[in-house]
Amino acid sequence: DIQMTQSPSSLSASVGDTVTITCRASQFVDDYLYWYQQRPGEAPNFLINGASTRQSGVPSRFSAAVSGPRFTLTITNLQREDYGTYYCQQSYISPHTFGGGTKVE
């Protein structure tokens, strides 16, 4: 199975900050890497793919990038509603695997 290693596991940030989360895949996943946001008590919500194509309605302050096996999610000008946990997921091949999550608080 492909392992997804996400870092950091948590971070503290203030409104207006820029936040960067990293995800590494143990095998090739091409650009079939997706980022999800989960606010406390809610279901996950698809944000953006590894090629930085945002889901409809997702603000432009969310961006993504890839360099080899290293994927990054960047949130610029952090807003209050952005607090929560972020997960990466590879969908290149089953089983679909998620990173361990990054809690932004």
Partner 1 sequence: QVQLLESGGGVVQTGRSLNLSCVASGFSLSDCALHWVRQAPGKGLEWVAVISWDGAHKYYAKAVEGRFTISRDTSQNTLYLQMNSLRGDDTAVYYCARSEFLERRPFDYWGQGTLVTVSS
Nearest to partner 1 of 82, 89 (CB atom): 89
CB–CB of 103/7 below 8 Å?
A: no
Nearest to partner 1 of 46, 83 (CB atom): 46
Nearest to partner 1 of 21, 99 (CB atom): 99
Site for partner 1 in 11-50 (CB under 8 A): 32, 34, 36, 38, 42-46, 49
CB–CB of 35/86 below 8 Å?
A: yes
Shortest reach from residue 91's CB to partner 1, in Å: 6
63 class by beta-carbon count within 10 Å (0-12 exposed, 13-18 middle, 19+ buried): middle
Distance of CA 23 to the CA centre of its chain: 8
Site for partner 1 in 41-100 (CB under 8 A): 42-46, 49, 55, 87, 89, 91-100
CB–CB of 100/6 below 8 Å?
A: yes
Nearest to partner 1 of 13, 93 (CB atom): 93
Diameter of the chain measured on Cα atoms: 38
Question: Which residues contact partner 1 by CB under 8 A?
Answer: 1, 32, 34, 36, 38, 42-46, 49, 55, 87, 89, 91-101
